[in-house]
């Protein structure tokens, strides 16, 4: 799974990268400790145009009477996303891109304490996760929410954690967004571990109040 990530790409550069129209209320950049339930940067298609907007990281199903009415859904498993009542409609019609620099994962060695790692692209470029989104509204309160799609990890990544976000390359963005017809399901597969680099980082990232570039610095 993925429960924390970092993003430092400026908003204007992000809009240019995705050829997307940016909203005026995007989250603050940089952020080295993006946490669930906060607003994150998301790219989605609307009226034939890509838009870069803030969305709450934590998907809220339509039947929730309030945002915390059930489990916090920050990830959706690729293996079951098309079957789960919470996700299946969004999987078909409301897919999005979630940009990042990289993400954190925790590994617990046998008999030891959990150790956080930072995982990022081997080429130091931006990382883009496959996501789904949903509008939720109750009694005048409206939230646009999202979740990351995850799949089984491969190789060395699997030694750190058994799940990994679905990472999309630029040539796959259009298909995932539905701009190029059908076939998005074929993209829900694990990134090869050779495309990633890994290093241990400070346990300070455990606190959702922690911030700053030291969080992603190698130990």
pLDDT tens digit sequence for 17-43: 999 999 999 999 999 999 999 999 999
pLDDT in tens, 125-182: 999 999 999 999 998 889 999 999 999 999 999 999 999 999 999 999 999 999 998 8
Contact by Cβ (8 Å): 5, 41:
no
Residues with catalytic roles: 2, 105
Q: What is the domain partition of the chain in residue ranges? A: 4-216
Phi, psi of 173 (to 5 degrees): -60, -45
pTM for the model? 0.96
- Say yes or no to pLDDT of 109 above 90: no
Please give the pLDDT value at position 110.
78
Taking residues 202-219, report their average pLDDT. Answer: 96
* Strand ordering across the sheet containing 196-200: 31-34, 4-7, 102-107, 115-121, 196-200
pLDDT at position 195 is 94
- Cβ atoms of residues 20 and 50 within 8 Å: yes
- pLDDT score of 111 more than 80: no
Contact by Cβ (8 Å): 115, 205: no
Pairing between β-strand 127-138 and β-strand 141-152 as defined by DSSP bridges: antiparallel
Residue of 214, 58, 49, 206 lying closest to 143 (CA atoms): 58
Whether 112 shows a pLDDT value over 90: the answer reads no
| Beta-sheet pairing, 21-22 with 115-121 | unpaired
- Averaged over 73-101, what is the pLDDT? 97
What pLDDT is stored for residue 1 in this prediction? 62
pLDDT at 28: 94
CATH 3.90.1680.10, applies to 4-216: yes
What pLDDT shows up at residue 85?
96
Residue 140, pLDDT score:
84
Mean per-residue pLDDT over the chain, rounded: 95
The closest of 35, 12, 6, 205 to 106, measured between CA atoms, is: 205
Specify whether the CB–CB gap between 6 and 32 falls below 8 A. yes
């Amino acid at each position: 799974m993925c429960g924390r990530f970092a993003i430092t790409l400026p908003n204007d550069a992000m809009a240019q990268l995705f050829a997307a129209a940016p909203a005026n209320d995007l989250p603050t950049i940089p952020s080295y400790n993006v946490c669930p339930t906060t607003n994150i940067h998301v790219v989605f298609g609307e009226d034939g145009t890509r838009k870069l907007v803030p969305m709450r990281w934590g998907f809220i199903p339509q039947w929730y009477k309030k945002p915390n009415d059930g489990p916090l859904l920050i990830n959706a498993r690729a293996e079951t996303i098309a079957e789960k009542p919470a996700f299946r409609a969004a999987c078909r019609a409301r897919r999005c891109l979630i940009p990042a620099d990289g993400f954190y994962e925790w590994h617990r060695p046998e008999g030891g304490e959990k150790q956080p790692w930072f995982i990022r692209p081997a080429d130091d470029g931006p990382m883009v996760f496959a996501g789904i989104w949903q509008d939720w509204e109750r009694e005048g309160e409206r939230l646009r929410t999202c979740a990351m799609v995850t799949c089984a990890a491969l190789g060395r990544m699997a030694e750190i954690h058994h799940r990994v976000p679905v990472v999309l390359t630029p040539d796959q963005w259009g298909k995932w967004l539905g701009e190029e017809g059908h076939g998005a399901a074929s993209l829900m597969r694990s990134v090869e571990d050779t495309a990633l680099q890994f290093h241990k980082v400070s346990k300070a990232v455990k606190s959702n109040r922690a911030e700053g570039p030291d969080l992603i610095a190698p130990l």
